[in-house]
């Protein structure tokens, strides 16, 4: 005859004493109560028991089975209760009636940068214009020399509304209306929220801000454009920033440029914020295409002009060292609170 019932009971309680995790309780259950378990195994001794004692022996084994089962259940319940108490003690308690820990409200970093850029351009004689977020195809594309089916439309994956209107994909959508409103000569900037059906990453959002600028007058050339871009960047950063100008294609300017800024997050070495290139596309620009001036009612014999489309959200990232553009739309007060002014 193997282990006795008493020895098995003692051994079980020693094991139960050591068990503390869900898996070990389950192991114990299988070890003692499973088909090949040790308590079940006691029944195999039945043959060695005198026939008149078998009934009593069977009842004792069943009682032990029940005892083992209940002891394991009790220990599991105890462990759950302890874990719950631990979690309650460790969890921050929220008391909604307490005053906020944020000392005062703050402007969003994009608002701060926007106001700064507005001030710089206002001091150089530019007016600040507002424009719709829902626009029509004509203003967003056709008036900008992007006819239907032009491949340049693919660059801006557009959210169309069921009535044929669309969410503005770029602030250039206001160019035509502003030219028509003021005529030439004209200096205006117009900040605005833009929407594109983009996959998001550290430097792309589906909702972001741009600031458009146009200057139209007699004898406006690329030199004027470069002067205004340089002045704006050195005022915003209050230091020399490395920029590069390279050719860029946009149907509404000719010639067109991409103005990139050396990534302020990695110092130009390459990181996720600049897609590992060390440069961030910040402010495409160029000389306004004659077709766009004509659509805006401007006399192209007399006037020329430049336009730029500054990535305001990216400028805020570079200015404040924000590594991930998605933080700016997150509404996370803890990270935005540091910009209190």
Following DSSP, what letter does each residue of 3-47 receive, concatenated? S-HHHHHHHHHHHHHH--SHHHHHHHHHHHHSTT-HHHHHGGGGG
Of residues 162-191, those binding ligand FA5 (CB under 6 A): 170, 172
CA distance 139 to 225: 23
- From candidates 56, 133, 198, 299, binder to ligand FA5 by CB under 6 A: 198
The yes or no reply on residue 337 touching ligand FA5 (CB under 6 A) is no
DSSP structural state of residue 330:
S
CA distance 315 to 9: 73
User: Does residue 253 interact with ligand FA5 by CB under 6 A?
Assistant: yes
* Residue 286 found at the interface with ligand FA5 (CB under 6 A): yes
Q: Which stretch binds ligand FA5 (CB under 6 A): 17-25, 48-56, 63-71, 310-318?
A: 310-318
The answer to whether 129 contacts ligand FA5 (rule: CB under 6 A) is no
| Residue number closest to ligand FA5, CB atom | 311
Residue 204 binds ligand FA5, judged by CB under 6 A: yes
Inter-residue contact 275 to 308 (CB < 8 Å): no
Q: Which stretch binds ligand FA5 (CB under 6 A): 83-91, 215-223, 232-240, 308-316?
A: 308-316
3-state secondary structure at position 288: strand
Give the tokens for residue 266.
């990695």
Which stretch, 106-114, 125-133, 226-234, 303-311, contacts ligand FA5 (CB under 6 A)? 303-311
- Say how far apart CA 88 and CA 164 lie, in whole Å: 54
CA neighbor of 28 nearest in space, from 60, 37, 36, 80: 37
Closest CA relative to residue 325, chosen from 340, 335, 334: 335
Binding of residue 192 to ligand FA5 (CB under 6 A) = no
Six-digit token string for 65:
């089975």
Taking alpha carbons only, the member of 49, 39, 35 closest to residue 1 is 49
Question: 286 with 309: CB under 8 angstroms?
Answer: no
Residue 310 CB, shortest distance to ligand FA5, in Å, is 7
Q: Which of 33, 72, 184, 285 is close enough to bind ligand FA5 by CB under 6 A? A: 285
If the CB atoms of residues 120 and 282 are measured against ligand FA5, the closer one turns out to be: 282
The CB-of-307 to ligand FA5 minimum distance in angstroms stands at: 4
At residue 253, the 3 state secondary structure works out as: strand
Asked if 262 interacts with ligand FA5 (CB under 6 A), we say: no
Q: Exactly one of 120, 233, 308, 322 binds ligand FA5 (CB under 6 A); which one?
A: 308
The CB-of-206 to ligand FA5 minimum distance in angstroms stands at: 7
Q: Is 282 in the site for ligand FA5 (CB under 6 A)?
A: yes
Question: Which of 42, 191 has the CB closer to ligand FA5?
Answer: 191
Neighbour count for residue 35 (Cβ, 10 Å): 7
- Residue with smaller CB distance to ligand FA5, 225 or 336: 225
Which residues in this chain contact ligand FA5 in the complex, by CB under 6 A? 170, 172, 196, 198, 204-205, 208, 210, 250, 253, 256, 281-282, 284-286, 307-309, 311, 313-314, 325
């Amino acid at each position: 005859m193997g282990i006795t019932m008493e020895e098995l009971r003692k051994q079980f309680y020693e094991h139960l004493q050591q068990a503390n995790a869900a898996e070990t309780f389950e192991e114990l259950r299988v070890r003692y109560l499973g088909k090949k378990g040790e308590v079940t195994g006691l029944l195999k001794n039945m043959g060695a028991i005198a026939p008149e004692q078998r009934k009593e022996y069977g009842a004792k084994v069943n009682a032990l089975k029940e005892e083992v089962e209940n002891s394991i259940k009790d220990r599991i319940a105890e462990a759950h209760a302890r874990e719950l108490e631990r979690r309650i003690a460790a969890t921050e308690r929220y008391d909604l009636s307490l005053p906020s820990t944020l000392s005062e409200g703050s402007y969003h970093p994009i608002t701060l940068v926007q106001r700064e850029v507005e001030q710089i351009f206002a001091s150089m004689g530019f007016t600040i214009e507002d424009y719709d977020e829902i626009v029509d195809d004509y203003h967003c594309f056709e008036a900008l020399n992007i006819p239907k089916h032009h491949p340049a439309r693919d660059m801006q994956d557009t959210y169309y509304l069921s009535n044929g209107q669309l969410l503005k994909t770029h602030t250039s959508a206001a160019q035509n209306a502003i030219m028509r409103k003021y005529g030439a000569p004209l200096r205006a900037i117009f900040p605005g929220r833009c929407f594109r059906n983009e996959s998001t990453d550290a430097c792309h959002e589906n909702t972001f801000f741009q600031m458009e600028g146009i200057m139209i007058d007699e004898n406006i050339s690329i030199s004027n454009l470069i002067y205004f871009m340089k002045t704006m960047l050195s005022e915003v950063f209050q230091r020399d920033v490395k920029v590069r100008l390279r050719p860029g294609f946009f149907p509404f300017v000719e010639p067109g440029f991409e103005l990139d800024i050396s990534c302020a997050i990695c110092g130009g070495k390459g990181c996720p914020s600049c897609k590992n290139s060390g440069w961030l596309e910040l402010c495409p620009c160029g000389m306004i295409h004659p077709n766009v001036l004509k659509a805006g009612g401007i006399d192209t014999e007399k006037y020329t002009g430049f336009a730029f489309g500054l990535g305001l959200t990216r400028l805020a990232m570079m200015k404040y060292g924000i590594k991930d553009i998605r933080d700016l739309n997150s509404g996370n007060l803890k990270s935005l609170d540091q910009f209190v002014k």
